[in-house]
Amino acid sequence: RDEGIFENAAKMAPIWEEMLHSFADVPDVIDIRNMGLIGAMEIDPNSSRTAPELAKKAWDIGLSFRPIGNNFAMSPPLTIDEEHIGKVKDMLTKVLR
């Protein structure tokens, strides 16, 4: 049965991208990459904050992402909607700012 999952992912991808790149001005974030609903942020290796520390802080408020070295990767469910992308942004704001 077609539930429009892939269509939703295609529709949400630019909103996800815009949300991720809204953190480009965070001093410790030195790169943001994404493809569709997969995204990653690179934390300055000279920062006092590390990706694993940020992942722990995120986990404590209900957000899960995968730290990989000084990067962290995120990929929401393909069924995500604009409201939940906004909630992810709010949580990332608490973690990064």
Residue 32: which H helix or E strand, with range? strand 29-35
DSSP conformational letter for 37: T
Q: Specify the pLDDT at position 51.
A: 94
The rounded average pLDDT for each run of 10 residues, N- to C-terminus, in the chain (97 residues) is 90 98 97 98 96 96 96 97 98 96
Residues 29/23, Cβ–Cβ less than 8 Å = yes
5-92: in CATH 3.40.50.2000:
no
Q: Specify the pLDDT at position 27.
A: 94
Q: Specify the pLDDT at position 28.
A: 96
Q: Specify the pLDDT at position 1.
A: 64
The structural domains of the chain, with segments of one domain joined by +, span 5-92
Q: Specify the pLDDT at position 2.
A: 72
